[in-house]
Structure 1
Amino acid sequence: MQGMMEVTGLSEMDSIGDFFTWFNKRSSYTIYSRIDRFLANVARFQNNSNVTLNIPPPSISDHALLYLNMGRTRDLKRAFKFNNYTVGIDGFEELSREAGTTI
């Protein structure tokens, strides 16, 4: 991995939160590892200096969620747009009614 990163000019992004990104979910003989990483080149890091990688503790999965916090972005002057394609699926309305939700 280290050799590939040197050849391609990639570096691992610093993170906030847990260091380990995986554990075996055992109460005895617990194993922790940092197997999930975010890699990028120097230009990416320089152009996105406000971006941080957050690693919360694993919960449901044995892998931690890695998410990029983009920080404050410039104010976009366009309207929010949401396309709900699921309501067009055959049987969606019936299933929604059975579940007790409304469309």
Structure 2
Amino acid sequence: MGSNKVMVGCRVSENRKEEWDEFVEGSDEFNTLAQLVRVGVERIISDAESDDEEQLEMIRDDLQGVLREIKQTRLDIEELEENIDDAEDISDELMFELEEFFHGDENEQ
């Protein structure tokens, strides 16, 4: 063993060890039980990291959708504010015209 490696052990039942040994014997991918365990652990870690990346991508997609909705809502609010301003202008003009109409009659008499 190289100096940068440490021994990691675990206890399993005799039946499980026999099952793993039989798998290694019938496998073209694994030469030893230790290799099976190392590769198995690495695959689990890799799958977990891959799942995390997929979840992050889904979250990014969701957030981009939310951002689009926020931008559209802002545009809608700006349009409503413009409509309110227009309505206020029309109301002011109407009020002025009504005052002119009613008070204009008084001034003419």
For Structure 1 versus Structure 2, the TM-score category normalised by the shorter chain is: under 0.3
Q: Bigger relative contact order, structure 1 or 2, given CA contacts below 8 A and separation 6+?
A: 1
Give 1 or 2: higher strand fraction. Answer: 1
Give 1 or 2: higher helix fraction. Answer: 2
**TM-score (normalizing by structure 1):** 0.26
Larger Rg: 2
**TM-score (normalizing by structure 2):** 0.25
